Amino acid sequence: MNEKLNLKGCIKRFALVGCLSIGFLWSELCSGADPLPAQISLELAKLRIPTEALSVVVYRLDAKRTGTLARTEILSHNSQIPRNPASLMKLVTTSAALDLLGPAFTWTTQVYLGGPVVDGVLMGNVYIKGQGDPKLGVERLWLLMRRIKGLGIQSIQGDIVLDRQSFENTSSDPGEFDGEPNRPYNAGPDALLINFKSLLINFVPDPQGKVARIHVEPSLSGLKVQSSVPLVLGDCTDYRAALRAEFQDPTQITFNGQYALSCGERLWPIAYSDPAHFSVKAVDAMWRELGEALSGQVREGTTPIGLKPMFSVESAQLAEIVRDINKYSNNVMAQQLFLTLGAQLSNSGTPDNARTILNQWWSQKIGSPLPKFDNGSGLSRDTLMSAQDIAKLLNWVYAQPIYPEMAASLPLSGIDGTLKQSKTKTRSHIKTGSLKGVIGIAGYIVNSNGQDCVVVAIINHPMAYSARPVFDVLLDWLELKNENK
């Protein structure tokens, strides 16, 4: 008798949510789990993702107080379960950095001369000391080398020495995480990080020559790249596969396929197959392209103690760097920032010191229990955080002076960054995160009543890659939700 009553009750509840898959949702609706809005449950059902795989927490943010914030909980579902947050971890790293270093913080790359300049010849070494600049691209490297030349140096009777000692214990296998060593997101941190240790390969169709011209930036000493590939007619489907590229040999890059005219101009970023020597080869090639002589070699080393820098090249301010990290979810820039916390606040840029700084900051500003941090970027299977942890962080940020910089760093739904293709029309600043089996969002949204809200949602499930529509439904629901209690 009781089983029949339970069956009738469950059938009524299925009807209320408009369930399309009764068998699938049976355990979800009759298990006593925290209730979710019907449209979210329905979207999960379509994707065959159980509600147990989803964590959600939503707060309405009320009046600001001195360093604190009044809030009202709107929705909470599995909010305290530790999950892999993927790139939502970047919210912790960037918030801590803005708070501890300040939005105007900059990195410097210093240049030293190890001898006098006599008739255009430097009688000694040039030392280039990196301090972790996350965005030392080709253009800024060119300017740095031009400034060395501007010191009256036409020839170096010695070496160009690259000092990368500001960061320690950062060597890693770029293919270790997911077996994709050629993906730029797997590039490791470096105190003298040049162009993310990546090449930009540009393909430009030349119909008259019946080829696609190839240009690579930056040039690397000892690396040969063919100048063109055959140009063919046809649809531009997967141009990368059609090129049949070979990147494994650090001395040459070859393309054994062809390029479709309909593809137009394309830019293919590739992590160099020998990342440990990327900086050495890039600097060597740049100096020689400027037409200057070098009797020695470009090599790694340490700047002599007591030597004073001739000049320094300054990075963009931290507020701008944080925008790049969060809007485009740049892993290596996040790890650069992570190690900078250790280098700046404990005089040693090691992963262990950075973790210590970050944990101390979290404990003081956000409170316990502490999540499990790894490398600062979220490119990890070991980092664990709950939706509640991230919501507490966002609540704290909202009441701080750094809030404008932090909010501006988050992608705008349907407008830019990793949310440029989002279909939701909400007024929201949302950080995204994704790994194999992980997808998440976290940020701020303004509902139709003009109220600011914090929203965090994380799914850990083998079908997570298909679950972005769940978040669109959540944001649309929240945008229309008017809470006045």
Distance CA(155)–CA(126), nearest Å, equals 11
Q: Give Cβ neighbours of residue 298 (< 8 Å, ≥ 6 apart).
A: 159, 160, 162, 221, 280, 281, 283, 284, 287
Q: Look up tokens 């090639």; give the residue.
A: 285
Give the long-range contacts of residues 151-154, CB within 8 A, separation 24 or more. Answer: 151/113, 151/117, 151/310, 152/117, 152/120, 153/117, 153/120, 153/121, 153/122, 153/126, 153/292, 154/120, 154/121, 154/292, 154/293
Over 50: is that where the pLDDT of 25 sits? Answer: no
Question: What's phi and psi for 285, nearest 5 deg?
Answer: -65, -40
Token pair belonging to 107? 């990195």
pLDDT grade for 178, boundaries at 50, 70 and 90? low
- Terminal C-alpha separation, the chain: 41
pLDDT of residue 177: 58
Q: What average pLDDT does the segment 384-402 reach? A: 95
CB atoms within 10 A of CB 101: 16
Question: What's phi and psi for 419, nearest 5 deg?
Answer: -110, 15
Q: What average pLDDT does the segment 317-322 reach? A: 98
pLDDT of residue 126: 98
Q: What average pLDDT does the segment 304-319 reach? A: 96
> Which range among 2-11, 405-414, 418-427 has the greatest average pLDDT?
405-414
pLDDT of residue 39: 94
Q: What average pLDDT does the segment 366-377 reach? A: 86
Local structure of 128: helix, strand or coil:
strand
- More confidently predicted of 269 and 14: 269
- Per-residue model confidence as pLDDT tens digits over 456-467: 999 999 999 999
pLDDT grade for 3, boundaries at 50, 70 and 90? very low
H-assigned helices in 82-192: 90-101, 138-149
| Residues 83, 441 contacting (CB under 8 angstroms) | no
pLDDT of residue 215: 96
- Name residue 401's amino acid: P
- Can you point out the beta strands (E) in 196-288? 198-206, 211-217, 224-225, 228-232, 245-246, 252-255, 259-260, 266-271
Find the radius of gyration of the CA atoms of the chain: 26
pTM: 0.88
Over 50: is that where the pLDDT of 100 sits? Answer: yes
Q: What average pLDDT does the segment 322-351 reach? A: 95
Question: What's phi and psi for 294, nearest 5 deg?
Answer: -145, 115
User: Which domains does the chain show, CATH number per domain?
Assistant: 1-29 (no CATH), 33-103+319-479 (3.40.710.10), 107-315 (3.50.80.20)
Q: What average pLDDT does the segment 252-267 reach? A: 96
- Average pLDDT of the chain is 88
pLDDT grade for 2, boundaries at 50, 70 and 90? very low
Q: What average pLDDT does the segment 294-313 reach? A: 95
Over 60: is that where the pLDDT of 5 sits? Answer: no
pLDDT of residue 62: 80
- Per-residue model confidence as pLDDT tens digits over 47-92: 999 999 999 999 999 866 555 667 888 999 999 999 999 999 999 9
- Per-residue model confidence as pLDDT tens digits over 421-458: 777 767 889 999 999 999 999 999 988 888 899 999 99
pLDDT of residue 81: 96
Over 80: is that where the pLDDT of 484 sits? Answer: no
